[in-house]
Every structure is written in C-alpha cells, then in structure tokens.
Amino acid sequence: MLLAWDKNSEFDFGFNDQSADVSIQSTDAAAIKRAISAKINAATNFLCLVGEKTSKRTWVSWEIDNACELKKRLAAVKISSGNTTPSGLLGAGASWAMSFTFDSIEKALEGA
C-alpha cells in the first residue's frame, strides 16, 4: 500500500523501501546487521508495521534500537489493534498511526 501511495500523484507521500536484501535465513548475523543498519541509516524515518507476529521476530528489537541509535524518527502502525507492540517501541518516543490509512500514517510520520 505504501508503494501505491508513493506512485499516486493524488497523494503527497514519498516512500523508498529500505528493506534489507540480505536473506533473513542467513546465519551471518554481522552481515545481516550491516545490511539492515545501512538501510536504516539511509532512511529519514523508521516506520514499524506491527503485524500479528512482529513482536516475536528476532530482528525487530534490534532494528528499533538501531533506528534510535541512528536518531531516526520513529513511527508505528498496528495492522490490527490486537497485535502486540514490540517492546523496543515502548518508551522510544514513536508516533503512532491509529489505523493503516494514508492520513493516519502521514500524520504519524509528520509527528515522528
């Protein structure tokens, strides 16, 4: 959806997917951290999409901590209100989108 908003001239929204291209199945943690850190460093904001299993993912806390260390503006949105917030977002000063809509995410990113 974020890519679609970026391509739609009706929306004043820019998005550059900085997802890491290193296989998450890699066993080289240092290589994964370097790749993820470079992507976060290249970004203006760090948007955490909180899905059903996000809080249980191995790298999420490290990514959030890294974004904080790199002084990135944090924004988050829960795909469903019942999803568990990753612990790294608690007390990190993230701005929250209250729904997965353009207006809500834009407002969170502006407030981040």
- How sure is the predictor about 99, in pLDDT bands with cuts at 50, 70 and 90? confident
CA distances (Å), 74 to each of 20, 23, 28, 57, 90, in order?
A: 18, 24, 27, 18, 11
Phi first, then psi: give them for residue 64, nearest 5 degrees. Answer: -65, -45
Per-residue pLDDT of 63-89, as tens digits, reads 999 999 999 999 999 989 899 999 999
Helix (H, G, I), strand (E, B), or coil: what is residue 77?
strand
Domain ranges of the chain: 2-17+45-111
Query: Does residue 95 have a pLDDT over 90?
Result: yes
Tokens found for residue 105: 């995410």
Q: What is the pLDDT of residue 109?
A: 84
Helix (H, G, I), strand (E, B) or coil at 45: strand
User: Looking at residue 94, what is its pLDDT?
Assistant: 93
pLDDT digit string, tens, across residues 4-62: 666 667 656 566 665 555 455 567 888 888 888 888 898 888 989 899 999 988 789 99
Q: Which two tokens stand for residue 30?
A: 């240092």
